[in-house]
Structure 1
Amino acid sequence: MDALSTKGQLDMARNVHDMGSINKMREAIASGDETVLQEAAEQFEAIFVQMMLKSMRKAQDALADEDSPFNSQQVKFYRDMHDQQLATDLTAGGGMGLADVIVKQLGQTEESYTPASVIRSDGNLSSLNQHRAESISQAQNVALSSHAMGSKSAHKEAMFDSPEQFVESLMPHAEKIAEKYGMDAKAIVSQAAVETGWGKFVIHSADGKSSHNLFGIKANSEWKGEQAVVDTLEFNGLVPQKQKAAFRAYSSIEDAMDDYGRFIATQPRYSDAVKAAGNATEYTQELQNAGYATDPHYANKIMSVYNSDRLNALIPQR
């Protein structure tokens, strides 16, 4: 009898603008009345219907005559109140069936419905993003692994024993290039660190000779020097794919730095990067915009190294 009384009170109070209906629901929940689940599900469905009606009204408003007396703010106010009550009344009469699904799911009254406590978390975006990041990282590690490249072709292996040696070897040459082209030496070293993993993944020929290619510059038709064909990681959107590509090979770090500066300064597509060469953030972003790399996070990765305590601790204070 108590349950029937509660249900009757809720039915009588199904006015969306009557806060008393919400209070009655709270009282029913507090008393342990399980029948209130149906009412809560119907109100949730009503909210869903309200959202659909609101979207439809917005589409209608976009085409409405602004000078029409039926398009005034006062008319819209009462129209929205009517839509809210209409949604509540529609769901009370059976609605679209969403309320019934919610009751069966949460109430666990039928064996054919999976309990809400074990529903899979498809909506956990952070988990999905983490999984995607891990997948990309694994693909990078496989593609950059010398073991995966094979011993009979060009491959990538360490050229420096430590990050300290990497920075110490590159910084003097980077400073010369920076002075010559108005660039930021620290940004140059940061880019090389991203391209080679702090010198751990530098292209070497089959006989173990280093290419000294610190910036991932490919051997296009204009390149007349030595080259090395190696597996590399290219991004198709956010999906990494391993491909074969020919890269330029140099006899020394100095030659690699000189070619990098000349390559950026003379290529028309990097003209915006040259203009912003004095600002590391703008420079790296313009490199990415010009298609220097297919990685959609290329500029952010360079600036992450640029601003890292690791690099700043290794650069000698002058």
Structure 2
Amino acid sequence: MDQNFSINQLEQSRNVHDLKGLDSLRRAAQAGDDKALDEAAKQFEAIFVRMMLKSMRDAQDVLADKDSPFNSQQVKFYRDMHDQQLATDLATNGNLGLADIIVKQLGQNVDGYTPASVLRDDGNLSSINRNQIKALDNIQQQVLGPVSLPGNKQPAFADAEEFVAALLPHAEQAASQLGLDPKALVAQAAVETGWGQQMIHLSSGQNSHNLFGIKADSRWQGDKALVGTLEYEQGVAKPQKAAFRAYSSFADAMQDYVTFVRDNPRYSKAIEQASDSQAYFTELQQAGYATDPNYSNKILQVLNRLP
């Protein structure tokens, strides 16, 4: 190995706990040393191997005996250190071959491989992504109809007290049509909007007044706002974009909620239990109103705190 670095110096970087060895690798790469690329590729492969080992360990921990002395935090700490070094050693031996592919891809003069710099310049990936996004937008417009420019979420109330005071009169009128406790509606709105601190606003800055997270489908003819939301799939929260209904006032939002749940057959069992807030929200969740598995519990916790 030429220039200012010896093979032994670079090999020290394979010890994941040897900061001096890692620094040697960094300086060798800066000096343009070909051996540094080879060593760095092996360490990238080691990262991949560590990820696989960690996944296997995590799966094992699920079934582990919590009372076993071999399942303590101290044991896991040293086990993880061992796995890190094991991954580096496996990568160094070239068992997977990933490092060789990285070297060929990042190298400049390897037959049969296009240099990474060319891919970055001429791959035209950004254009492909733009076309995919445009195609998805076209599909969405066909399903949802025209959507307002992307909206955002921002506060609409100074605090929880102001939130309750502003909404309770509208909730009393709406809840009477369902036979529901007005405060239950306020509690649901509080969960959906974070006590009014995460109210959906249109791109123009206008408040959508959407209190209950009701989405806009092809049947909705009013304004819409496209914003980020969390949807739960098999208990795991995933960020998504969705179009939500926009109203001219909180009174309109309350009335639309009443119509939405009352006229939809899937929520008929919830309406039958409207006199019992706990039963109502339990049935509402089971009918698929929200994907959050703790949705009804969150509302009931808020409801119990309301004066």
Please tell me the TM-score bracket, short chain as reference: 0.5 to 0.7
- CA RMSD after TM alignment: 2.1
Secondary structure, counterpart of 2:299 in structure 1: helix
Q: Which amino acid is the alignment partner of residue 249 of structure 1?
A: A
Matched, 1:119 2:119: no
The equivalent of 1:258 in structure 2 is 255
Matched, 1:219 2:216: yes
Matched, 1:154 2:155: no
Matched, 1:163 2:160: yes
The equivalent of 1:180 in structure 2 is 177
Shift of 1:116: 7.2
Among all aligned residue pairs of Structure 1 and Structure 2, give the percentage whose two residues are the same amino acid: 51
The count of corresponding residues between Structure 1 and Structure 2 is 169
* TM-score calculated relative to the size of structure 1: 0.51
Alpha carbons of structure 1 residues 116 and 296: separation in structure 2 relative to 1, 3 Å: closer
Whole-Å separation in 2 of the counterparts to 1:237 and 1:161: 35
Shift of 1:183: 1.3
* Unpaired segments ≥5 residues, structure 2: 1-67, 78-148
CA deviation vs aligned residue, 1:27-86 (integer Å, no higher than 9, x gap): xxxxxxxxxxxxxxxxxxxxxxxxxxxxxxxxxxxxxxxxxxxxxxxxxxxxxxxxxxxx
Whole-Å separation in 2 of the counterparts to 1:256 and 1:198: 15
Whole-Å separation in 1 of the counterparts to 2:286 and 2:156: 29
Alpha carbons of structure 1 residues 179 and 117: separation in structure 2 relative to 1, 3 Å: closer
Secondary structure, counterpart of 2:221 in structure 1: coil
- Structure-to-structure mapping, 1:179-198, within 5 angstroms: 179-198=176-195
- Structure-to-structure mapping, 1:63-212, within 5 angstroms: 118-120=74-76, 153-212=150-209
Whole-Å separation in 2 of the counterparts to 1:194 and 1:205: 20
Shift of 1:153: 2.5
The equivalent of 1:56 in structure 2 is none
Matched, 1:277 2:277: no
Matched, 1:232 2:229: yes
Query: Which structure 1 residue ranges, 4+ long, deviate > 3 Å from structure 2?
Result: 114-117
Shift of 1:238: 2.1
Shift of 1:178: 1.2
The equivalent of 1:241 in structure 2 is 238
Shift of 1:215: 0.2
CA deviation vs aligned residue, 1:71-119 (integer Å, no higher than 9, x gap): xxxxxxxxxxxxxxxxxxxxxxxxxxxxxxxxxx98xxxxxxx897822
Alpha carbons of structure 1 residues 118 and 252: separation in structure 2 relative to 1, 3 Å: same
Alpha carbons of structure 1 residues 119 and 161: separation in structure 2 relative to 1, 3 Å: same
Question: Computing the radius of gyration over CA atoms, which structure comes out larger, 1 or 2?
Answer: 1
Whole-Å separation in 2 of the counterparts to 1:264 and 1:115: 49
Whole-Å separation in 2 of the counterparts to 1:222 and 1:165: 33
Alpha carbons of structure 1 residues 253 and 117: separation in structure 2 relative to 1, 3 Å: closer
Whole-Å separation in 2 of the counterparts to 1:243 and 1:115: 37
Shift of 1:193: 0.4
Shift of 1:181: 2.0
* Unpaired segments ≥5 residues, structure 1: 1-104, 107-113, 122-151, 313-318
Shift of 1:197: 0.4
CA deviation vs aligned residue, 1:191-246 (integer Å, no higher than 9, x gap): 00000000000100112110000000001222111111111111112211111111
The equivalent of 1:39 in structure 2 is none
Whole-Å separation in 1 of the counterparts to 2:274 and 2:217: 24
CA deviation vs aligned residue, 1:1-52 (integer Å, no higher than 9, x gap): xxxxxxxxxxxxxxxxxxxxxxxxxxxxxxxxxxxxxxxxxxxxxxxxxxxx
Secondary structure, counterpart of 2:76 in structure 1: coil
Q: Which amino acid is the alignment partner of residue 194 of structure 1?
A: V
* TM-score calculated relative to the size of structure 2: 0.53
